[in-house]
Amino acid sequence: MTIRSTTVAVVGAGPAGLVLAHLLRRAGLDVTVHERLTRSALEGAARAGVLEHRVVEYLRRLGLADRLTAEGERHGRCEISCLGEEVTVDYGALSGGARHWVYPQQLLVRDLVDRYLADGGTIAFGSPVEAVVPDAAGRPVLRTPDGELRAAYAVGCDGAHGVVAAAFPDGAEGPGRRYPYDWLTVLARIDRPVAAVRYAVHADGFAGMMPRTADVGRFYLEVPAGERLEGWDADRIRAALVHRLGLGGAAPVPGELLETGVLRMRGRVARRMRHGRLLLAGDAAHTVTPSGAKGLNSAVADAADLAGALPAALDGDDGALDGYQRRRLEAAWRTQEFSDRLLDLLHLPAGLPPEQREFALRLRLERIRRIAAPGPEGAAFARDYAGAGELAGPGVWPPAQRSAVASRTTAR
């Protein structure tokens, strides 16, 4: 059996794993990345597509956002319709200038992979980690198709059912919520670009339309919890989208359906993100619904924080990783609260009788008007929604790491 060794083993080459690997290598650490998917499958999987202001600024500072900022689109407003009234929320203005970037996640992953390999890093594609077990000293040993990989630390960036989380004694369990509805998800051809995110608060159920590319849009439809896709053919999906979103006129209209699915709406946060030398980041530690587009962004924020904590721990700072866990769990709960609050705005209570729906819709319309208006409530929503502020960067990292990153980025 082949036995290899590394300082940090990163499991999963999604945004969290790739950003973390980039930064740890820049800090001079030996990093090994394992990804269960092939490269083509990883870079072809359509997922999220909205990046927060602070995440893009962070990637830009590190020289990892060149194609994103050249090819992505900035959006600073969303539209919310309710009871026939369409309210524009200019969150770019309300937040003081923070706006989203629309750039499909698979393109961001492609860019991060390209740059990582160009910088001399390696990624074991199509190489799933089968198990993680401790050695006699408590250091993680990863069992892979290529033999054993021994590491000082292992970081799970491999999703909610990842192998690193499974190695926690409690499986990294934590509180969660199963929402009383699901979302039917659709990727569809459109006849014109989506100018702004559109949400529909409707008596028949929520619907959403999100920009992706010039000729493709992402759509959502609220369906009953446990709904099966077989009950929704293409004509029924298109009719429901047009009806609930009020599409027509200058609005894009969905044509060919490229991809459909049903998203089981759940939120969860692990009780901890560290067990000894095992660490979690992104969906491996916390799963958030698509409401507010926070999943990808939270994952990158985890990586940014951990990229400072791990070198500090290796330099003897015993509290660095506990600090990472504390900060990121607090952030995860703030993110869950925002997503849950937005869901409550966009959906009527489950099981509400038809004669009470107008009352519930009018209450929501009042809330929509308030978050669209200048003032403290609108500003707070806008900043949370757009991801205003900054992620931890080189200025707050340990001196050795700060100089390593600074020399690398200023050389570009």
pLDDT digits (tens, 9 = 90+) for 390-401: 987 544 344 444
| Catalytic status, residue 324 | no
Q: Which of 116, 199, 220, 324 is catalytic?
A: 199
pLDDT digits (tens, 9 = 90+) for 314-351: 999 989 999 999 999 999 999 999 999 999 999 999 88
Asked if 64 and 112 touch (Cβ cutoff 8 Å), the reply is yes
Residue 139, Cα to own-chain centre: how many angstroms? 29
pLDDT score of 412 more than 50: no
| Catalytic status, residue 211 | no
Distance CA 278, CA 353 (A): 49
- Provide the token pair at 188: 């569809």
pLDDT digits (tens, 9 = 90+) for 227-248: 999 999 999 999 999 999 998 7
pLDDT score of 402 more than 90: no
| Catalytic status, residue 243 | no
Task: Tell whether pTM > 0.75.
Answer: yes
The 8-class DSSP code of residue 142 comes to: E
- Position 2 scores a pLDDT of 85
Q: Listing from the earlier edge strand, what are the strands of the sheet with 207-213?
A: 85-89, 78-82, 197-201, 207-213, 216-224, 181-190, 254-263
Task: Catalogue all structural domains in the chain, each as residue range(s) with its CATH number.
Answer: 3-76+97-176+268-346+389-410 (3.50.50.60), 180-264 (3.30.9.10)
- Position 251 scores a pLDDT of 85
Q: Which of 22, 34, 53, 75 is catalytic?
A: 75
pLDDT digits (tens, 9 = 90+) for 111-135: 999 999 999 999 999 999 999 999 9
Q: Which residues contact 97 (CB under 8 A, 6 or more apart)?
A: none
| Catalytic status, residue 290 | yes
- Position 1 scores a pLDDT of 66
Portion of the chain with pLDDT greater than 70, in percent: 95
| Catalytic status, residue 91 | no
Would you place residue 382 in the very low, low, confident or very high pLDDT band (cuts 50, 70, 90)?
very high
